């Protein structure tokens, strides 16, 4: 079983991918736990002192000037979790919540939040014992952190709220008891430290960035089939063109397409035709998908910083004996990243839909209109293109940036917020739609390419065709397509198409795996 050791400093996107690739546990580095203990000792001293420190011996938000006695310090932290558990709507999926647990623990392991070793251990227990808090999806404004979602997550630590455990939704206390664990009594500042962070936004950003990278490569495989089926040229991927506009993503995507089309008999069969240029949806693939790739790369840089950041407030500097209030909980970087990811992902589907439309035209020779024999009697794949058009149009609505909006909260005291959590929720819907559009292009591209037999497509395109044919047969006459689209959606999402293509043609985007 894979074990990920957290140290509060070095978590990477590849670690997250490995964590959810199969059975896994999380652990804490010993030095990091010592940092936690060192900071907790100072926090206890501050809580017992007379000097006011926000969230340690004061109220929260607009109540920051309200002093809290040492006798009420524990009640204050428990009250915070209960009062802030005011989210609503369908629960987040379990894997997102489990990643939120890991990211919150990683942040606390920096040793700047004043929490106890026992609290960090309990977060790890939740992950390792399969106790997943039920976290409603709506309620965060992305500053002061993801307060409501993290409050619901943190209720499980004190034995309250609901969790999913062994496939059932049960009271948290029941799951803790079954695992031989007792609810914790929070110490000064621990409630605040649990909920003051960007872990909903950063968890979704990390997971959806991983999903986008897979979808981008799957879209390249689908595009390769469409390009060959439409008898477009592969000369647009010539390295000399892209060296003159040297965006790294553009260069990488062009190289990937050269591998996809290597040894193509289909392309060689028409290389001396009189067509001079192809539509932009073929000709500009490196420029469009390269921009998507470069967007993913800068988002990965931001996400990597965020998942290793201290996003608490106030922050304790134990070596200096100081406590500083700041705004590290503000989710603006993640809000921008999530909005950028949604916009970039929309373009994957937008250009794919145009290629699907070109496939419907046929070529008047080998490939019939709407990709079916006896067109007219059969309508073929016509309505599959309608589906792609509808999904692309819906995505335009979801691509509106959430981060351009802000509504003051906490009686106007927290007067600018990121709305990054809204960006998190909508990017997931965008990627669901992108995956569906890619499934449609896989379906249509394979159908069109089969009309070119016995000519053999390029290595990567041929592997994509074979992968589709493992699931969906050649369509001889009109039939219901919904089940075929759904099966290709799943194979796309699971990475099956990419795995098959890269086994034949090599890594499509070298340096991004």
Known catalytic residues are 54
Q: What is the b/e burial string over 258-275, where b = at least 16 CB atoms within 10 angstroms of the residue's CB?
A: bbbbbebebbeebeeeee
User: At 316, which helix (H) or strand (E)?
Assistant: strand 315-317
The tokens describing 324, both together, are 């500083």
In whole angstroms, give the CA distance from residue 249 to residue 221: 16
In whole angstroms, give the CA distance from residue 105 to residue 311: 12
Of 345, 495, 349, the closest CA to residue 427 belongs to 345
CA angle 358, 481, 93 (to 5 degrees): 100
Whole-Å CA distances, 320 to 57, 185, 315, 317, 324: 20, 28, 12, 6, 11
User: At 75, which helix (H) or strand (E)?
Assistant: helix 73-84
Contact between residue 318 and residue 301 where contact means Cβ atoms under 8 Å apart: no
Using DSSP bridges, classify how beta strands 168-171 and 162-165 pair: parallel, antiparallel or unpaired: antiparallel
The tokens describing 136, both together, are 């409603």
Using DSSP bridges, classify how beta strands 24-28 and 2-6 pair: parallel, antiparallel or unpaired: parallel
Q: What is the 3-state secondary structure (H, E, C) of 196-243?
A: CCCHHHHHHHHHHHHHHHHHHHHHHHHHHHHHHHCCCCCHHHCHHHHH
CB atoms within 10 A of CB 95: 13
CA–centroid distance for 269 within its chain:
41
DSSP-assigned letters across all residues of 148-165? HHHHHHHHGGGT-SEEEE
Torsion of CA 490, 96, 431, 293, to 10 degrees: -110
Residues 6 or more apart whose Cβ sits within 8 Å of residue 123: 101, 104, 105, 108, 157
Of 200, 199, 198, 210, the closest CA to residue 21 belongs to 210
Phi, psi of 164 (to 5 degrees): -100, 135
Using DSSP bridges, classify how beta strands 322-324 and 168-171 pair: parallel, antiparallel or unpaired: unpaired
């Amino acid at each position: 079983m894979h074990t990920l050791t957290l140290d509060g400093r070095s978590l990477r996107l590849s670690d997250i991918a490995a964590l959810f690739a199969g059975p896994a546990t999380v652990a804490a580095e010993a030095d990091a736990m010592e940092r936690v203990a060192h900071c907790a000792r100072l926090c206890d001293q501050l809580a017992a002192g007379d000097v006011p420190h926000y969230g340690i011996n004061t109220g929260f938000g607009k109540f920051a000037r309200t002093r809290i006695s040492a006798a009420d310090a524990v009640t204050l932290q428990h009250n915070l979790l209960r009062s802030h558990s005011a989210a609503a709507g369908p629960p987040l999926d379990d894997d997102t919540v489990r990643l939120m647990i890991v990211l919150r623990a990683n942040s606390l392991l920096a040793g700047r939040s004043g929490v106890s070793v026992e609290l960090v251990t309990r977060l790890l227990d939740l992950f390792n014992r399969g106790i997943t808090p039920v976290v409603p999806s709506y309620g965060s404004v992305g500053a002061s952190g993801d307060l409501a979602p993290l409050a619901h997550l943190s209720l499980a630590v004190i034995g309250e709220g609901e969790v999913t455990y062994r496939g059932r939704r049960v009271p948290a206390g029941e799951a803790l008891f079954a695992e031989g664990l007792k609810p914790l009594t929070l110490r000064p500042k621990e409630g605040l430290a649990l909920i003051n962070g960007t872990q909903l936004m950063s968890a979704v950003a990390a997971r959806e960035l991983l999903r986008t990278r897979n979808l981008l490569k799957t879209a390249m495989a689908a595009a390769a089939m469409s390009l060959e089926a439409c008898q477009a040229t592969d000369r647009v991927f010539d390295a000399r063109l892209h060296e003159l506009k040297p965006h790294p993503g553009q260069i990488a995507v062009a190289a990937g397409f050269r591998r996809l089309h290597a040894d193509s008999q289909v392309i060689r069969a028409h290389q001396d035709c009189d067509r001079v240029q192809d539509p932009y949806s073929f000709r500009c693939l490196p420029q469009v998908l390269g921009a998507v790739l470069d967007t993913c790369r800068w988002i990965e840089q931001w996400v990597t910083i965020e998942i290793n950041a201290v996003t608490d407030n106030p922050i304790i500097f134990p070596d200096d004996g100081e406590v500083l209030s700041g705004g590290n909980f503000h989710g603006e970087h993640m809000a921008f990243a999530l909005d950028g990811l949604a916009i970039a992902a929309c373009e994957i589907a937008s250009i794919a839909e145009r290629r699907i439309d070109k496939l419907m035209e046929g070529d008047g020779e080998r490939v019939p209109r709407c990709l079916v024999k006896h067109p007219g009697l059969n309508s073929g794949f016509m309505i599959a293109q309608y589906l792609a058009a509808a999904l692309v149009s819906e995505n335009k609505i979801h691509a509106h940036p959430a981060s351009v909006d802000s509504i003051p909260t906490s009686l106007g005291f927290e007067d600018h917020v990121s709305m990054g959590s809204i960006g998190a929720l909508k990017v997931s819907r965008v990627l669901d739609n992108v995956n569906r559009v890619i499934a449609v292009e896989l379906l249509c591209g394979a159908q069109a390419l089969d009309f070119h037999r016995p000519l053999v497509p390029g290595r990567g395109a041929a592997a994509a065709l074979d992968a589709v044919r493992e699931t969906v047969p050649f369509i001889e006459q009109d039939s219901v397509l919904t089940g075929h689209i759904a099966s290709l959606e799943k194979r796309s999402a699971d990475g099956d198409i990419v795995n098959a293509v890269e086994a034949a043609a090599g890594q499509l985007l070298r340096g991004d795996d």
